Amino acid sequence: MSRINTLLLSGANNHDWARSTPYVKELLEASGRFAVTVTEDPATVLADAAALAQYQLLFSDYNGPEWSGAARANFAAAVRGGTGLVILHAADNAFPGWTEYEQMVGLLWREGTGHGDFHEFLVRIVDPEHPITRGLG
């Protein structure tokens, strides 16, 4: 089985990208299904359409300064052309007003949104043998 060439976009975020990015890379590669390249300078990498063409998946842990017009156009063209896109948590905060990005992401953190109050809640496990719940109490 060939591995999915993945470009992990990082380098800026309002969350701890310096910890999350290496963890995501390790997690993806440990599955045996992904070959991951990390960039902490996505604006530069994305500006090169030819280099971008080698990736089947863009995984964003990025929420920082706006990218150049070329980087944005190449990113959008890649996704339109079938390159997969995964947005990790706060990466949905990125690029307010870039309508095409907002449509790709679908659910965004924008003005007026926020975390709800912390509270206890009951979790009922209905399938204790499911891979996600197996071994949980």
**Encoded tokens for 71:** 């980087």
Distance CA 81, CA 104 (A): 13
pTM: 0.83
Each residue's pLDDT tens digit, 62-85:
999 999 999 999 999 999 999 999
Each residue's pLDDT tens digit, 19-58:
999 999 999 999 999 999 999 999 999 999 999 999 999 9
Each residue's pLDDT tens digit, 82-114:
999 999 999 999 999 999 999 999 878 888 787
**Encoded tokens for 73:** 């156009």
Helix (H, G, I), strand (E, B) or coil at 92: helix
